[in-house]
Amino acid sequence: MSPIPSLDYNLLYHERVIRSVANNTRQDGEDFLRIAAELPIHTQVQRFALRDANQALNQLKNDAIKGEAVLVGESMH
């Protein structure tokens, strides 16, 4: 067997960066929510019963769902 070459982990993990988002002011949050309320945001959700989770995963895998897939319990479906 050939030896496994060493790996420079700085190259592998260099892309990982932690950024804080806690430095926003209350006014920043209020401004953001005001602007967000003015935008025409339309969400699309396709619900799947928990028993149909494999079907949902297959559709996600094949880009057959526009929007989000959500698994719901039987009492919520």
Residue-level pLDDT at 61? 93
Report the C-alpha gap between 48 and 44 in whole angstroms. Answer: 13
What's the confidence (pLDDT) of residue 76?
A: 55
Report whether 43 contacts 66 (CB < 8 A): no
Residue bearing tokens 């060493």: 6
- Residue 40: how many other CB atoms lie within 10 Å: 4
pLDDT of residue 16: 64
Q: List average pLDDT for each run of 10 residues in the chain, which is 77 residues long.
A: 76 67 85 92 92 95 93 75
